Structure 1
Amino acid sequence: MIKRVRTCGAWVYVAAVAVILAGCRGKVAKDHSDEQKSPPPREGEHVMEQGDQEFVVVEVNGMTLTRSDLNEKVWRYIVLQNESDLPPEKLLPKIARYRKKIISSFVTQKVVLQEADRKSISVSEETVDAALSRLKSKLPKGGTLQDVLDKYNKSEAAIRDDLRDELRITRLMGTVTADVEEVTDEEIRAFYEKDKAAFKVPERIRVRHILIDCPADVPDDIRSQRRRKAESCRERLLAGEEFAELAAKMSDCPSARTGGELGTFPRGKLIPAFEEAAFSRGVKEIGDVVETSLGFHVLEVLERQEGGIMPYDEARDLVAVFLNEQKSSPVIREYIGRLRAEADVKYGLESDRLAADAER
């Protein structure tokens, strides 16, 4: 398994999907309500680096990263991490950290891609198509890649370019690590047996719900009406109505568009009252209406995964990836270090050179 060299490429969009399209999952999940907030207007980026936006922060063999480009990449990180609402005193240190990482990653990406150019490493459009299909298959149920691209004002052509670059880098790294021995079955088994506790997985449930929205400050008569509406939904389900169809019609949660499905959770990740009810229910059981700070829920557990030690057959591939990356990483680091040392890299500020070198 080859450890990929990644910068602000396609992986950002995959990760962003989980944040942007999480829907009600982010509300019901404990401590994740901020996932529903939209980022502030662009003018809210007053804490970003000011000055000449065409100032060249770094140049790598003629390829430049301007201050404007850097600000855009940093801002995407901030939005992706749901940090756009932080006050300046908390946001500024994060900006400084992201800035260093992005500058260093830019240098690495450019020297590696330029080496791929020199070695005429390319990928077919069919290969890019397949990678894009795999990326789309990882989106949360009901989510679309276009939702994410629209949010970041990106085109599918741009993400195809990101994927193409990543695939070319992967092929180049494959040639670099061709002589690295693959991990053996004995090594995999020994690693697993040595620390089985590391493969402990918690009990998890897959759950869906119908939410009747009811904020804490609504009058009592409205609260009673909404509870009755939730009770009516429960009765309709007990009478045989299909859950997904009823959720689509009645639920006030964004998850209504996916039949009320929220996903799979271990203990400790949900609003306490919701979690207590969900983990005490049997699979497919329609229990009593549950009240939380969001309102009234009619929930159903679709699947229960018992906790315990992951069996070796399930853990084997994970261990193999980890151990192969351990073997490949030193070779790749040395190779990239040589490419960076041989490249003509010019920094606009000496402080950026020192910071980027520290990130290597």
Structure 2
Amino acid sequence: MMNLAKKQILILFFILSFSISCLNLKAAAETIDRVVAIVNGEVITLTELNEAVSFTLKDTEGTINFDGAEKDPAEIKRKVLDRLIDNKLIEQETKKMGIVVYEKEIDNALENIQKENSISRKELVEKLESKGLSLEKYKEQIKRGMEKMMLVNREIKSRVVVNEDELRKYYTENMDSFKVITEVRVQHILLSIPPNADEAKIKDVYEKARELLVKLSNKEDFGKLAEMYSQDISLDSGGDMGWFKRGEVTPFLEKVVFSLKVGEVSDIIRSGLGLHIVKLMDRKEEGVRPFEEVRDEIKDTIYVKKVEKEFKEWSEGLRKRSFIKVKL
């Protein structure tokens, strides 16, 4: 059996060896990746800060604006570090509250982002990599964002109320933002006539156009006919050209469509491209959008501003209750 003295010497040797190893590791860590902030005992490293600064600069494509700090790299670092500290505090709070975001929820959010931006997973990855961000790190950002949203739902949203007086006051004070000028939404069928077409070819195209007018007069669906016969790029959307104002469409079409009534179909219109038939789907007249039409938009705007204000105050309170040491 090992005697007590020998055992104590070996333990002491182990402790000393471990301490020396830790010192060496600490020295190496400070050289490679020193600590720039401590937040309630958790660290933010220089590497994390540099990555965040790099991504922020790339994300804004060189037009970053931190209240005039864009010409001062040190100030940019300080402001980005400030954000990292806030993120760390929020991360700690979500853990305390037991907030959990599951992988399936992150994947669903990622799919929604792709759909909203009409991009494939490959295109998304390429876009992220161009900004120095991997897909895994982006998913981590999504997770943090969802955690923050759940935290806001618990801590903030229940305290935010928007009343009717606020809605009407905002509407009155921001009337200019609800002004509209006349816009029309049009469906379109184009039957092309080649530049070198002979009389027989032109006659055939006119005959087809007249047949379409007969079908339309018999209440056949304009969109389906556009998909079947139109040679315009709008055919995939049933000929829907979307909304446009005066000056945003060729003059020969503008004159016709702005004279139509909603639901009315034009006669055959000849242009250098061929023969056109248009239908006025909808019209927005010049004026101010009524309060009831924009009520929900106003409510959302005020609500978001109030949530942001409440969250800022909540975050400031959280900072005051926390131990934060900056070593930048």
Partner of 1:89: none
What's the offset of the Cα at 1:163?
Answer: 4.9
Moved more, 100-109 or 163-172: 100-109
Change in 2 beyond 3 A, CA 1:320/1:71: closer
Distance 2:252 2:78 in 1: 45
> Does the 8 Å CA contact 1:112/1:336 hold for their aligned counterparts?
yes
Aligned to 2:242: 263
Aligned to 1:236: 211
Q: Is the 8 A contact 1:112 1:169 kept in 2?
A: no
Unaligned runs of 5+ in 2: 1-35, 38-42, 71-75, 129-134
Q: Secondary structure at the match of 1:208?
A: strand
Where in structure 2 are the equivalents of 1:106-121 lying within 5 Å? 110-119=84-93, 120=95, 121=99
Offset at 1:161?
6.0
Q: Quick one: which of 73, 79, 101 aligns to 1:123?
A: 101
Q: CA deviation at 1:123?
A: 3.4
Q: Which residue identity does 1:96 align to in structure 2?
A: G
Q: Could you tell me how far apart the structure 2 residues matched to 1:236 and 1:104 are?
A: 71
Equivalences for 1:157-236 in 2 at 5 Å?
Answer: 163-175=142-154, 177-178=156-157, 181-211=160-190, 220-222=195-197, 231=206, 234-236=209-211
When residues 258 and 234 of structure 1 are mapped into structure 2, their CA distance, relative to the original with a 3 A threshold, is same
Q: Secondary structure at the residue paired with 1:326?
A: helix
Aligned 8 A contact 2:209 2:275 in 1:
no
Distance 1:225 1:116 in 2: 74
Matches within 5 A, 1:6-45: none
Shift of 1:238: 0.7
Q: Residue type of the partner of 1:97?
A: T
Relative to 1, partners in 2 of residues 1:227 and 1:195: Cα closer, same or farther, differing over 3 Å? farther
**How many angstroms apart in 1 are the aligned matches of 2:249 and 2:182?**
13
User: In the TM superposition, what is the alpha-carbon distance from 1:249 to its structure 2 partner?
Assistant: 4.1
Q: Distance in 2 between matches of 1:290 and 1:105?
A: 61
CA distance in 2, matches of 1:330, 1:71: 23
Q: Does 1:97 align with 2:97?
A: no
User: What aligned pairs does 1:247-262 form with structure 2 within 5 A after superposition?
Assistant: 247-262=226-241
Q: CA RMSD in A?
A: 5.0
Equivalent runs, 1:294-309 vs 2, <5 Å: 297-309=276-288
Point out which structure has higher relative CO (alpha carbons under 8 A, 6+ apart). Answer: 1
CA apart distance, 1:201: 2.9
CA distance in 2, matches of 1:337, 1:233: 70
Does the CA-based 8 Å contact 2:182-2:285 persist in structure 1?
A: yes
Q: Quote the sequence identity (%).
A: 24
Q: Is the 8 A contact 1:226 1:296 kept in 2?
A: no
- Alignment of structure 1 residues 63-74 onto 2, 5 Å: 63=48, 66=51, 70=55, 74=59
Letter in 1 for 2:179: K
CA-to-aligned-CA distance 1:198-232 (integer Å, 9 cap, x gap): 42233332222234568xxxx95259899767645
More helix by share: 2
Q: Over residues 299-342 of structure 1, what are the superposed CA-to-partner deviations in whole Å (9 max), with x where a residue is unaligned?
A: 22222233433222222222222223333434444666798998
Secondary structure of residue in 1 paired with 2:282: strand
Under a length normalisation based on structure 2, what TM-score does the superposition of the two structures give? 0.56
Partner SS, residue 296 of structure 2:
helix
Instruction: Give 2:304's match in structure 1, choosing from 318, 321, 325.
Output: 325
Kindly provide the amino acid, as one letter, of the partner of residue 239 in structure 1.
V
Q: Secondary structure at the match of 2:300?
A: helix
Higher mean Cα deviation, 60-69 or 113-122? 60-69
Equivalent position SS for 1:183: coil
- Alpha-carbon contact 1:290-1:298 (below 8 Å) kept: no
TM-score scaled by length of structure 1 = 0.52
Larger radius of gyration: 2
* Length, aligned pairs only: 259
